[in-house]
Structure 1
Amino acid sequence: MEHQISNIDLIVIGVYFIAVMAIGLYVARGTKTGEDLFLGGRSFGWALIGFSLFASNISTSTIIGLSGAAYKSGIVQSVYEWMTGIPLIIAALIFIPLYLKSKITTIPEFLELRFDRRSRMIFSTITIITSILVDTAGGLYAGAIVLQAFFPGLIIWQTCLILAVVAGLYTAFGGLKAVVYTDTIQAIILIMGCSILSYMLFEKLDFSWDNVLASTPEGHLSIVRPLDDPSLPWPGLIMAVPILGFWYWTTNQYIVQRVLGAKNIKNARWGVILASFLKIIPLFIMVIPGTMAISLFPGLEKADQVFPTAVMQVLPVGLVGLVLAGLISAIMSSVDSTLNSASTLVVVDFVKTLKPDITDKETINYGRITTVVLMAVAAIWAPFIVDFGGIWDYLQEMFGIIVPPIAVIFLVGVFYKRGNGDGAFWTLVLGTIGGILFFTLRQFDIWPMHFTIDVGIMTIISALLFIIISNITPAPDPETIKIYTYNKSLLQNEEKIVWYKDYRYHIVLLLICIGILLTKFW
């Protein structure tokens, strides 16, 4: 690499750390109730929601992974990013008004209202485990590995611990409001840093798209891949990407929690549409730079070297620190979000159901203690991920196991009013077992299909299970579930507003943008 990290860069990073901690702890002063801790007092406007959704979703593995994948095999992996708008449109149209009118604090809580307590407990348990052992610990480990590329002397377990403590402290004391405010700052820093890097890479190619195309292998800029493609075969693009996206953006507590904290439905809808537009940006500031690097840095052996190499060889002193602050932002925003959501699930779905009469002060104490405990678990587990080698990669496929039945009971359950508690419970149980079976057969090369194709197959099977079991067991009370299922009034605005503020026009513009990208990179 061309130069080492300078003292100026270190100062930039240090100032960032201090600023994030100060903001988080300042916000903590206003945390008085459980609703403040878990939902920010339901006070968030659309801009905070949109930027926080973007920051919480972008991790260091996303930044490094997208640029590395674009360098090595093409842009197909980026489809998960800019196709985010589709599930968020479904959320804006249907699920946001259902959630906010239900006054829920956790997504599993909605399952109890729509179905029964069994589904809530299963879903909550699955979410807590995956949030801490996969999302939080994985984010810490990936972040530590990335930082080690810039600071070779770093020790993984110490880095994981420091990151966990910093994110854990302001999350424990400031709750979701601290998470959302710091996420917004982190999102802006991340976009700024990566945009500057992209601009300077493009400058080296004389701002010529033709120069980019000239060095890009055939098929690299296409999202439609053959059936045997190891990254994302075309059936997976059709069958899995929408389902995985729906689960992640509409039913995942650590993402949806800031939407639940919106001041009203209007701001929640504007926020998710803003996030959808922001999610298009990584294609241009994280993915396309990976293709630019093919001619600028030929012969890199490992895909994860692309982003660090570009940063160190292209950016001047000071801007390196800004981009590294952006990387650290990505780590922190993912970690703080998963910690806050997991502690919310533990306290609301388990502690408060066992002790319904606890005071606000006790609720806050439980929430803070839970956050610290989960922070410690994630920090302890994270360094051991290296010992699992390829098994850790398989854990990413675990989402292919849990997602189909969850997506079905939400998506089908909202429209299919005959769906009942037995249908939801057994779909979760049998659908998850089916996913485990596919996963196991794939490890022994008995079932050769890509895991994204399995997601599509298990979604169809789970939908059939849900409908059949619901039909052979007692129907739910229509009046009880009426406010938790689809009706046309959900699509309307809460109040009469001018056309350019109508979220439905925003959706049309978003669909046009996604359609243009699909046409361009088909």
Structure 2
Amino acid sequence: MQTLDTFDWIAISVYFAILLGIAFWVIRKKEDNTEDYFLAGRNVGWFVVGASIFASNIGSEHVVGLAGAGASNKLPMLIYEIHAWIVLILGWVFLPFYARSGVFTMPEFLEKRFDARSRWVLSIFSIAAYVLTKISVTIYAGGVVVSALLGIDFWTGAIATVILTGIYTVLGGMRAVVYTETLQAVLLVIGAGILTYLGLEKVGGWSSMVETVKPEYLNMWRPSDDPDFPWPSLVVSSTIVGIWYWCTDQYIVQRALTAKNIKEGRRGTIFGAVMKLMPVFLFLIPGVIALTLKMRGELQWDSPDEAFPVLMSNVLPSGLRGLVAAGLLAALMSSLASVFNSVSTLFTVDIYKKLRPNTPEKKLVRTGQIATVAVVIIGIIWIPIMANISGVLYEYLQSVQSYIAPPITAVFLLGIFHKRINGLGAYATLIMGIVVAALRIVLELVRGSLDPDGILFYLGDMNFLTFSAWFFLFCVLFAIGTSLLAPAPTIEKVENLTYGTITEEEKRKNKTSYTTSDIVISILVLAIVVGVMVFFNGK
């Protein structure tokens, strides 16, 4: 492991000076109202929307975790990184409904489509999910990166980064988040691209790498009876998680809602989808390169999650190493900043404002800032518990998301595509979903002490992808069944919020919100996704 030298520190210092300059500029421009603080005044262009979507998604847990998956024979996890086609679904299918409803948050949309009960449940569920899947994972990954790069202990690195990110997020709000994320996305792509190129040169090219790890290692498709990644369950479960994450989750959708209009928002999602094609080559392949060098005795690391920072410190030259280190820190900070802002939006708009509707705008902004600080502390406390659930960080993230996603995905999809689904169906499905997800996590933690022949052991030990696929089907049937026990929703609850009830005027508006080039680029993205699926078949 090479330590950073003077040129590296100069590169890192320049990056942070630029970042703080942008944050300071934004903080001076911002206004003390909720639309500016939480949605950047709804005045952001497509380039910034797309870069922000990409940077929010690609945090250090992706950089560290995806490279770890590449270095530990978990290549099927790659399917979560070719979800560019689902990002397109956000822009083409979901965004028009969200934009027409004029909402700030996803729980607020559920209230418009169903009732206040669903809004409450999703608000609390989402905040809990952020602690479980985003804040703690990002802080943990950041600690791994910072301690490996800077030679300091894990907790010092993790907490220092959290505090620095928290400061500009609390002060600058969403505008600070989206503009700093644009810089971070550019830096991360350039840095990781150079690392992949130099890493492939070091191993003697692609064919030499494949010769060392063997072609079957690069197969993302396992047999249907594979104990870890059966391909049918992998395809179904990853799609369910993808729709939840990209199309219904506040963390991502909030970026599209900052756009000036539907046209800019959709174009932002298309640009985000194009960028989403890159992580396969920028983060997963370096993990395989690191494994190749380890198999040849040229590189040493203990945990697969260390593959990316160790490769980076040994392959990159002085100065450039510091720039990529800054990119890794940028990834950590952009993810944290995004989730901090999303949590404060959810808590302030969906919980606090509902309880105290007459609160002045300035106080609502202050409440969001306090909520951010509180949730950071909870995330730090959760890290030691998280370490017990799964060995590889990326697998932990996907397993927990597989339990959280099915009820939310079912409610949003049915809400938009099935006008008979009502408030009772949505509310009951979300409550049932929370109970089942919590039960599965508990059973997974304690399964060693359960009777191997019992039903509880079976539920706790079932492959997480298979569990998620069956759980989603159950949620859909449960939502339809419970909806039929109560009257159909009124016209106010479905008009312009479900397919089949859109007015002619809204249809005309939607047709003017895209061009032929938007359609062509979207089709091209779909073709590349299929190409990647075919390429990684181990032959």
Q: TM-score, normalising length from structure 1? A: 0.92
CA RMSD of aligned residues (A): 2.2
Could you tell me which residue of structure 2 aligns to residue 337 of structure 1?
338
Could you tell me which residue of structure 2 aligns to residue 398 of structure 1?
400
Could you tell me which residue of structure 2 aligns to residue 462 of structure 1?
475
Cα offset, 1:459, TM superposition: 0.6
Cα offset, 1:87, TM superposition: 2.0
**In 2, Cα distance between the equivalents of 1:126 and 1:497?**
33
Cα offset, 1:497, TM superposition: 7.5
Cα offset, 1:164, TM superposition: 1.6
Q: Is the 8 A contact 2:262 2:513 kept in 1?
A: no
Gaps of 5+ in 1: none
| Match runs of 1:120-131 below 5 Å | 120-131=119-130
Residue type matched to 1:428 in 2?
L
Could you tell me which residue of structure 1 aligns to residue 290 of structure 2?
293
**In 2, Cα distance between the equivalents of 1:96 and 1:50?**
14
Change (3 A) 1:171 1:427: same
Match of 1:391, SS?
coil
Stretch deviating more after TM superposition (93-102 or 477-486): 477-486
Task: Provide Cα deviations, 1:465-502, integer angstroms capped at 9, x if missing partner.
Answer: 1111111211111343212112477777646488544x
Match of 2:260, SS?
coil
Change (3 A) 1:417 1:498: closer
Could you tell me which residue of structure 2 aligns to residue 150 of structure 1?
149
Could you tell me which residue of structure 2 aligns to residue 57 of structure 1?
57
Residue type matched to 1:49 in 2?
V
Change (3 A) 1:423 1:388: closer
| Match runs of 1:179-190 below 5 Å | 179-190=177-188
Could you tell me which residue of structure 2 aligns to residue 504 of structure 1?
519
Identity %: 37
Matched, 1:225 2:225: no
Could you tell me which residue of structure 2 aligns to residue 314 of structure 1?
315
Change (3 A) 1:499 1:113: closer
| Match runs of 1:171-182 below 5 Å | 171-182=169-180
- Structure 2 residue aligned with 1:279, among 276, 280, 285? 276
Q: Is the 8 A contact 1:25 1:173 kept in 2?
A: no
**In 1, Cα distance between the equivalents of 2:213 and 2:293?**
11
Q: Is the 8 A contact 1:47 1:274 kept in 2?
A: yes
Q: Is the 8 A contact 1:240 1:455 kept in 2?
A: yes
| Match runs of 1:84-163 below 5 Å | 84-152=83-151, 154-163=152-161
- Structure 2 residue aligned with 1:236, among 229, 233, 248? 233
Residue type matched to 1:449 in 2?
M
Q: Is the 8 A contact 1:145 1:156 kept in 2?
A: yes
Change (3 A) 1:404 1:362: same
- Structure 1 residue aligned with 2:253, among 248, 253, 256? 256
Change (3 A) 1:372 1:30: farther
Gaps of 5+ in 2: 451-456
Stretch deviating more after TM superposition (427-436 or 180-189): 427-436
Task: Provide Cα deviations, 1:429-455, integer angstroms capped at 9, x if missing partner.
Answer: 223333444455553442442111111
Could you tell me which residue of structure 2 aligns to residue 407 of structure 1?
409
**In 1, Cα distance between the equivalents of 2:9 and 2:229?**
39
Match of 1:397, SS?
helix
**In 2, Cα distance between the equivalents of 1:16 and 1:260?**
28
Cα offset, 1:132, TM superposition: 3.3
Match of 2:270, SS?
helix
Stretch deviating more after TM superposition (273-282 or 115-124): 273-282
Q: Is the 8 A contact 1:215 1:294 kept in 2?
A: no
Q: Is the 8 A contact 1:74 1:221 kept in 2?
A: no
Could you tell me which residue of structure 2 aligns to residue 417 of structure 1?
419
Match of 1:189, SS?
helix
**In 2, Cα distance between the equivalents of 1:123 and 1:498?**
31
Could you tell me which residue of structure 1 aligns to residue 324 of structure 2?
323
Q: Is the 8 A contact 1:54 1:275 kept in 2?
A: yes
Cα offset, 1:515, TM superposition: 1.4
Q: Is the 8 A contact 2:133 2:400 kept in 1?
A: no
- Structure 2 residue aligned with 1:431, among 423, 430, 433? 433
Stretch deviating more after TM superposition (159-168 or 486-495): 486-495
Task: Provide Cα deviations, 1:218-254, integer angstroms capped at 9, x if missing partner.
Answer: 4222221134545532122221010000000111111
Change (3 A) 1:305 1:158: closer
Stretch deviating more after TM superposition (107-116 or 158-167): 158-167
Could you tell me which residue of structure 2 aligns to residue 69 of structure 1?
69
Residue type matched to 1:309 in 2?
V
Stretch deviating more after TM superposition (461-470 or 506-515): 506-515
- Structure 1 residue aligned with 2:496, among 451, 460, 483? 483
Cα offset, 1:288, TM superposition: 1.9
Residue type matched to 2:357 in 1?
P
**In 1, Cα distance between the equivalents of 2:509 and 2:289?**
44
Stretch deviating more after TM superposition (214-223 or 485-494): 485-494
Task: Provide Cα deviations, 1:385-425, integer angstroms capped at 9, x if missing partner.
Answer: 23663136667633222211110000112111000000011
Could you tell me which residue of structure 2 aligns to residue 513 of structure 1?
528
